[in-house]
Structure 1
Amino acid sequence: MSDRADHVHRKGAAPRPAPRYRLPEQPLFSVVYGLVLASALVAALDPAGEEADPGPDALWVVLTALAAGAAHGYAHVIARRASADGAATPSRLRLVLAEWPLLAAVLPTVGMLLAAAAGWWAEATAVDTALLFNTVALFGCGTWAARTAGHGWPSSCRAGGMDMLIGLVIVAADALIK
């Protein structure tokens, strides 16, 4: 039996409890975007055959995430301005500040690069670990989003697998380019 209708009440089946917490769509979007951004940056900032420099690489990841979050938030402001009266309001500033999950999503990658800068491990190990972490986190985000939407485990894992594919494409591209 297909699990597409897992969230529909079946005859004779006990009703499923409502999810306790449903993450709003915008923060989830920002987290996924931040994970993909961090993966792409860490893969690109670790060119093969060049001297490792994880400290500045970590700074570039943070600065790029800040720029991407600000640009995405400002795009919301522009869209709202085009559809409203055009006046700047505090709610528009909140649209920009609401992109904080994007920055939060890159922090594990930054932490791994800073650990490499401190000499705790090699930059290549930090990059590989960050790519693995971000790929697994993408799976978790996709699975969690589907579960909170009421899907069963099989379809939620398929959704997580599709999100994880983005990370795997970055890992494959990193391996092929180097």
Structure 2
Amino acid sequence: MSGRFATPRRQTWADRILSGSGSVYGTILTSSLLVSLSSGERGNAWVMIAALAIAESVFALAHAWSALLIEGHARARLPGPAELGHALGHEWPLVKASLPAIAILLLAAIGLIGVDTAVNLALAVNTAVLFAGGLALAWVAGLRGLKALAVGLVACVLGLVLIILKIWVHH
């Protein structure tokens, strides 16, 4: 199979770190959903957990399916089940990015912490993940020192903007 979902290359340590952090897109999507779901009467931890899991899965499926349809259009044929499975595997980091927030929300769901505390903690963790992912990407690209720090900070700003949005929307 050619194109985006061709034979996967062997993962390097940096690939595993970046993938382990979740995709930037998935992390931002999770934070955006947390901001939205935590307002008003919708602040139920179990509902938020279900919404995160479903939304992230739907986005991953939509990404995989649309990429396969574009490739299929170029080859004038629809993708098969094996290609869909491979494409979904490629999109797994998007879903995996929601797991830290879901784990934190589980603490609220079982009553160990408040929902608002869980949301704030999850947003802080996601912002740290964005910083670490940016820093790891800079390191892989050969950047060191202030240049690497700058890349990490740019990624971190994405999470900070969502924290500011939460503060603005909820107060």
TM-score under structure 1 normalisation?
A: 0.81
1:91 is matched by which residue type in structure 2?
E
Partner of 1:132: 124
Q: Which has the higher helix share?
A: 2
Q: What pairs up with 1:79-158 in 2 under 5 angstroms?
A: 79-89=70-80, 90-158=82-150
Task: Tell me whether 1:69 sits opposite 2:97 in the alignment.
Answer: no
2:103 is matched by which residue type in structure 1?
G
Percent of pairs identical after alignment? 25
Give the direction of change, closer, same or farther, for the CA distance of 1:102–1:137 in structure 2 (3 Å limit). Answer: same
Deviations 1:68-124 (A, max 9, x none): 010011111012112224142423431123211111110010111111010010000
Give the direction of change, closer, same or farther, for the CA distance of 1:114–1:52 in structure 2 (3 Å limit). Answer: same
TM-score under structure 2 normalisation?
A: 0.84
2:141 is matched by which residue type in structure 1?
A
Give the direction of change, closer, same or farther, for the CA distance of 1:30–1:114 in structure 2 (3 Å limit). Answer: closer
Partner of 1:13: none
Partner secondary structure for residue 14 of structure 2: coil
Task: Tell me whether 1:162 sits opposite 2:154 in the alignment.
Answer: yes
1:75 is matched by which residue type in structure 2?
S
For the Cα contact (< 8 Å) 2:69–2:78, is it kept in 1?
no
Aligned-residue CA RMSD (Å): 2.1
For the Cα contact (< 8 Å) 1:65–1:106, is it kept in 2?
yes
Q: Report the number of matched residues.
A: 157
Distance 1:40 1:171 in 2: 9
Cα displacement (A) at 1:32: 0.7
- Give the gaps of 5 or more residues in structure 1: 1-19
Partner secondary structure for residue 99 of structure 1: helix
Task: Tell me whether 1:22 sits opposite 2:2 in the alignment.
Answer: no
Larger Rg: 1
Distance 2:25 2:96 in 1: 11
- Give the gaps of 5 or more residues in structure 2: 1-11
Cα displacement (A) at 1:52: 3.7
Cα displacement (A) at 1:174: 0.7
Partner of 1:57: 48
Cα displacement (A) at 1:23: 1.5
Deviations 1:5-27 (A, max 9, x none): xxxxxxxxxxxxxxx63318x95
